[in-house]
Amino acid sequence: MANYGYNGGNYSTASYGAQGGADGGGFMGGSQQGSQEGGGSKTYGKDTVRPVTIKQILEAQQPHPDSDFKIDGSEVTQLSFVGQINMISCQATNNTFQIDDGTGVIDVKQWIDSDQLPEHARPLPKEGEYVHVWGRLKAFNNKRHVGSHVIRPVSDFNEVSCHLLEATAVHLYFVRGPPPGPHDGAMKDGGGAQGMFVDSYGGAAPQTNGGGKQLPAKLSATARKVFQLLQSSPQNNEGLHVSMIAQKLSLQGNDVFKAGDELLADGLIYTTVDDETWAVLEY
C-alpha cells in the first residue's frame, strides 16, 4: 500500500482484471470500450488510483501513443477527480459528460451495457450537478477524455474541497518528496515503529499499520456484508460474481444487486469483467 506521506493519503496499487471494457462500470457499465479504443491489450496489475485536477489531466505527458500517461513525471492509470457537469450528450453506445472543476474542462464517457436489465440501470446525473469520477485517461482522435468506472453524485460540498486538498498533497509529494516526520531519522537508520518500504513509483514512503476501510454509516446491513465478503475473499483480477456472492451469503440476487448499487455509488467497489462481477476499490 503506497502512502504519499501525509495522514489519510492512502492510494494503493490495485488489480483491475478487465482485459477488455476498461471503462465499464459506474452509473452504467459496458464491455465495449476495449475494442473501440484499443484498451484491451493492456494489463491492469499495476494500476493505482490518484486524485487529480482536470488541469493536471489536460497537461499529462504521454511519451508514446501506446504508453501510459505521466503526471509529475510518474505514470498514472486510474484517476479520481471532482467537478460540475456542464453538458450531457446521450448516444446509443455511451453518455458523454462535459465536466468542469474550475481548473479545466474534460469529457467523461460512460459506456452503456446493452445487456443490462432496466431495473438494474442507475439514474443519469443531471446538468449542474457535482460528481466524483473514477476512471482512466484516454486519447482518441487526438482528443483526451476519461473513460469512467464510477460516477457518483456529490452530496456534501466539503467533498470538493477535500478532494482538491488531496490532489494538492499528492502533487507536492511527487514534486518535493514526502514531508519529514517525527521519526524520520530513526526510519532512515532502519529503525522506528513504521519502517520504510519502496512504493510502486520507486520512492520511499512510511508504511502505515493498515486497518479496514471506513464504511459510510448510511450503508445497509446487506451492503456491509457484501463489502466484507469481497474484502475478505482471496484477491484476484476478477473479484466475485453476483451469483457467487448470493450463494456465499445466502441472499437473493436482487438483494445483492441493491447492495452493489450502494457500494458502487459510494466508490467502494468497481466492476471488472462485466457489470455483475465486483471487486473492492482500494485507494
Task: Kindly report, residue by residue over 263-277, the tens digit of the pLDDT.
Answer: 888 888 888 878 888
pLDDT for 38 beyond 70: no
Mean pLDDT, rounded, for 84-88 = 94
Mean pLDDT, rounded, for 109-121 = 72
Residue with the larger pLDDT of the pair 215 and 247: 247
β 69-71/74-76 pair status: antiparallel
Task: Kindly report, residue by residue over 173-187, the tens digit of the pLDDT.
Answer: 888 887 766 555 444
- Rounded to whole angstroms, the Cα distance separating 259 from 26 reads 14
Domains and CATH numbers, the chain: 1-182+197-208 (2.40.50.140), 221-280 (1.10.10.10)
pLDDT for 192 beyond 90: no
pLDDT for 27 beyond 70: no
pTM of the shown model: 0.54
User: Taken in order 118, 123, 125, 126, is the CA torsion positive or negative?
Assistant: positive
Q: Is 162 exposed, middle or buried (0-12, 13-18, 19+ CB in 10 A)?
A: middle
pLDDT for 281 beyond 70: yes
Percent of the chain with pLDDT over 90: 28
- Length of the chain as a residue count: 283
Rounded mean pLDDT of the chain?
74
- Rounded to whole angstroms, the Cα distance separating 160 from 149 reads 19
Task: Kindly report, residue by residue over 89-101, the tens digit of the pLDDT.
Answer: 988 888 999 999 9
